[in-house]
Amino acid sequence: MDKLINDFSVGLFFWQSLVFILLIVLLRKFAWKPILDAVNEREESIEGALKAAEKAREEMKSLQANNEAVLKEAREERERILKEARDMKNKMIAEAKDAAAAEADKTIASAKAAIEAEKTAAIAELKNQAASLSIDVAEKILGQELSAENKQTAMIGKIIEDVKFN
Amino acid sequence: MRSNFTVLIALAGFLFFTPLAYAQGENHEEIQHEQAHHEDAHHAEVHDEASGEKDIKGVIKETIEHHLADSYEFHITEGVGFPLPVILVDGGLKVFLSSEFHHGGVAAVDGAHYKVNHGKIYKTDAAGTITYDDHHHPTNDKPLDLSITKNVFMILVMAVFMFFLFRGVAKTYQTSLAPKKAGRFLEPIIIYVRDEIAIPNIGEKHYKKYMSYLLTVFFFIWFLNLVGMTPLGVNVTGNIAITFSLALMTFIITQVSGKKDYWMHIFWMPGVPVLIRPVLAIIELIGLFVKPFSLMIRLYANMLAGHVVIMSILGLIFIFSSWVAAVPFSFLTLFLSVLELLVAALQAYIFTMLTSLYFGAAVEEHEHH
Whether the per-residue pLDDT at B25 is higher than 50: the answer is no
C-alpha A60/C-alpha A66 separation (Å) is: 10
Q: What is the mean pLDDT of residues B195-201?
A: 92
* A–B CB contacts, 8 A cutoff, strictly below: 121
Whether the per-residue pLDDT at B40 is higher than 60: the answer is no
Task: Give SS3 for B75.
Answer: strand
pTM confidence score: 0.71
Question: B183 and B261 in one domain?
Answer: yes
Q: What is the mean pLDDT of residues B302-331?
A: 85
CA distance B106 to chain A (A): 20
CA distance B2 to chain A (A): 14
Residue that terminates a domain, selected from B127, B147, B167: B147
User: pLDDT-based confidence at A146, cuts 50/70/90?
Assistant: low
Question: B311 and B173 in one domain?
Answer: yes
Most confident among B21-25, B36-40, B143-147 (mean pLDDT): B143-147
Question: B195 and B173 in one domain?
Answer: yes
Question: B300 and B181 in one domain?
Answer: yes
Q: What is the mean pLDDT of residues A85-114?
A: 94
| A-interface mutation test, from B2, B142, B145, B240, most A Cβ less than 10 A away | B240
Task: Give SS3 for B173.
Answer: helix
Question: B235 and B341 in one domain?
Answer: yes
C-alpha B183/C-alpha B177 separation (Å) is: 11
Question: B159 and B143 in one domain?
Answer: no
Whether the per-residue pLDDT at B358 is higher than 80: the answer is yes
Question: B261 and B126 in one domain?
Answer: no
Q: What is the pLDDT of residues B56-105, one digit of tens each?
A: 778 888 778 777 777 787 877 667 778 888 888 877 777 888 777 777 67
Question: B198 and B208 in one domain?
Answer: yes
DSSP B138: B
> Do A42 and B245 lie within an 8 Å CB cutoff?
no
Residue ranges of domains in chain A: 11-165
Q: What is the mean pLDDT of residues B254-280?
A: 84
What ipTM score was computed for the predicted complex, to two decimals?
Answer: 0.78
Question: B210 and B133 in one domain?
Answer: no
Whether the per-residue pLDDT at B31 is higher than 70: the answer is no
C-alpha A38/C-alpha A87 separation (Å) is: 72
**Residue range(s) defining the domain that contains residue B117:** 85-147
Which segments of B103-234 are extended strands (E)?
106-109, 112-117, 120-124, 144-145
Q: Which residues contact A17 (CB under 8 A, 6 or more apart)?
A: B245, B248, B249
Q: What is the pLDDT of residue B83?
A: 82
Average pLDDT, chain B: 79
Question: B122 and B177 in one domain?
Answer: no
Q: What is the mean pLDDT of residues B195-202?
A: 92
Question: B57 and B90 in one domain?
Answer: no
Q: Who among A31, A38, A41 is closest to B166 (CB)?
A: A31
List strands edge to edge, sheet with B112-117: B106-109, B112-117, B120-124
Q: Which residues contact B365 (CB under 8 A, 6 or more apart)?
A: B259, B261
Q: List the end-to-end C-alpha distance of chain A, in Å, as a whole number.
A: 173
* φ and ψ of B34, to 5 deg: -55, -45
Question: B362 and B286 in one domain?
Answer: yes
| B-interface mutation test, from A3, A5, A7, A12, most B Cβ less than 10 A away | A12
From the list B21, B2, B319, B357, the residue with the least C-alpha distance to B171 is B2
Total structural domains within chain B = 2
